[in-house]
Amino acid sequence: MSELVSGGNMPLPDGAVTVRVPGPFDVCALITDDGGKVGSDADFVFYNQPSAPGARLDGDTLTVDPPRLRPGATKVTVVVSPADPATPLGRLPAPILQVSAPGGPSLARFAPPRPRQETVLLLAEIYRRGGAWKLRALGQGYADGLAGLARDFGVDVIDDAAAGAASTQHAHVPGSPPAHAPASPAPPSPTSRSVLPTPTLVDLHPAGPAPATDPDGFLALVNSARTRAGSPPVLPDTRLASAARAHASAMAAAGQLGVEGADGVSVYQRLTATGYAYLTVGEHLVSGPRTPADFVEYCLGDEKARRTLCDPAYTHAGLGYVGDGRFGDLYWTALWARPFTPGDLARTAAEVVDLTNRERARAGLPALAADAPLTTAAQAHSADMVARAFYSHTSPDGSRPWDRAAAAGARRRSVGENIACGQRSPAEVVDGWMNSPGHRANILGPDFTHIGIGLAGGGAAGTYWTQLFGA
């Protein structure tokens, strides 16, 4: 049986597989095409619609038979939410995904990082690659409810409350007949549920910003500067703005600037607590400016601050500022981020491998080959350092790099590991390792033949990197 980590994948055998998530959860599935959208309301499998071609839901168990999916279907996304919609996932036991062949052996297990305030978790996806089907572990959480998730996959969620029909909601796919909404729905029985739980209807996908405005004109000033620098504009995101304001408030309360507030919480932890999973993040922590225009002018006048403001890697931004209440000083936090996606993770890891191999080439050494088990172990260690708030080659459970590599399926006679935290880019982290004798020795180890890279955002330092070598 394979133990998967977020972003890890594995091939599936031919035929049907079962996906089970035991516990106080509702399981559902969205069947999509290459564009990531459902084709009709029949592609949304949940407790009130438990079957579709190739997919059947029975309690906590979803059975997927890929060859029997509707024509054009290339992916099945497995989602969990609390059975009680009012309960955040963080108050429940961590959901555990169990995958097996029907009546056969266990194939895989996935224990995602424990959710916090999120009410929906994208747990895994079964997807077609070429002519074969594979399983990928996701573990992406959202705080905005199942209806927002359905909308993100192409399902229209119509809120009948505005029409005086209580809070019953109906799913409708463009091009299909809309569901009938009774003017006065009968109260549900104790064992029945509405079609969808009542959520806050906001955009749910990590790659898209939550609805936000720019009341101070901050983003207009920023994007004007970014345009002059040849960088694409950033979009406002309420999660970044909320985290920025919370951190500005913490700094104002303490009367000093700092990545961590007096409460011991870092600005990065405040951001991940909002449900924004990032691939890379930057921040400005400033006191003194009186207006957003003054703040942007200050940033543009400082070389390092200007590089962050104009960095083309960032796609979203949020600003917060709070007065200290004693001396009238304003404390400012600006956050810049790019959301986490599996594709961006793979590209970033590949860039680290490429930069590492360039250093080896300069030393006359052969290139290292990317290795899937080493990558799985490296990614798991980075995620673990964020989740359990430590920074060490030895995990809290006592496991060492070679233990983690072996548990991920690596069969290497020797293993080496580099870790780092706080760096914002592949170039920055590889440069830091090369300027450290011990880390440099691993990168230029003549016996190593394979490599795996992992990175995760959050924690006290922002981004945690793991570089795992094998021979």
Q: What are phi and psi of 239, to 5 degrees?
A: -70, -45
pLDDT of residue 230 exceeding 80, the answer is: yes
Amino acid symbol at 317:
A
Q: How confident is the model at residue 150 (pLDDT cuts 50, 70, 90)?
A: low
User: Which regions of 8-155 does DSSP assign to beta strands (E)?
Assistant: 9-11, 17-20, 25-32, 44-45, 51-52, 55-58, 61-64, 75-82, 97-100, 106-110, 120-129, 132-142
pLDDT of residue 261 exceeding 70, the answer is: yes
244 and 318 Cβ atoms separated by less than 8 Å: yes
Contacts of 332 (CB under 8 A, 6+ apart): 248, 284, 285, 286, 287, 289, 295, 319, 320, 321
Average pLDDT over every residue of 431-447? 93
Whole-model pTM? 0.56
Burial label for 134, CB within 10 Å (0-12, 13-18, 19+), is middle
Q: How confident is the model at residue 152 (pLDDT cuts 50, 70, 90)?
A: low
User: What span, in angstroms and rounded, lies between the C-alpha atoms of 227 and 53?
Assistant: 48
Closest CA to 470 of 409, 410, 399: 410
Q: How confident is the model at residue 181 (pLDDT cuts 50, 70, 90)?
A: very low
pLDDT in tens, 30-82: 999 887 788 887 888 887 788 899 999 988 899 999 999 999 999 999 998 88
What is the reported pLDDT for 229?
96
230: left (phi over 0), alpha (psi -120 to 50) or beta: left
158 and 220 Cβ atoms separated by less than 8 Å: no
Enumerate long-range contacts of 389-395, CB under 8 Å, 24 or more apart: 389/459, 389/460, 391/419, 391/421, 391/461, 391/464, 392/419, 393/417, 393/419
Closest CA to 312 of 408, 222, 447, 446: 222
7: left (phi over 0), alpha (psi -120 to 50) or beta: left
Distance from the Cα of residue 266 to its chain's centroid: 18
DSSP 398-452: ---HHHHHHHTT---S-EEEEEEES--SHHHHHHHHHTSHHHHHHHT-TT--EEE
Burial label for 90, CB within 10 Å (0-12, 13-18, 19+), is middle
pLDDT in tens, 308-332: 999 999 999 999 999 876 767 899 9
What is the reported pLDDT for 59?
84
Average pLDDT over every residue of 250-259? 89
pLDDT of residue 381 exceeding 70, the answer is: yes
Q: How confident is the model at residue 213 (pLDDT cuts 50, 70, 90)?
A: low
What is the reported pLDDT for 151?
64
Count of Cβ atoms closer than 10 Å to residue 39 Cβ = 18
Please report, in angstroms and rounded to a whole number, the separation of the first and last CA atoms in the chain: 24
CA dist 83 to 27, 89, 182, 368, Å?
9, 10, 25, 47
pLDDT in tens, 106-121: 888 888 876 666 778 8
pLDDT in tens, 47-58: 778 889 999 998
Contacts of 284 (CB under 8 A, 6+ apart): 295, 299, 305, 308, 309, 332, 333, 334
Q: Hunting for tokens 């072996």 — which residue is that? A: 406
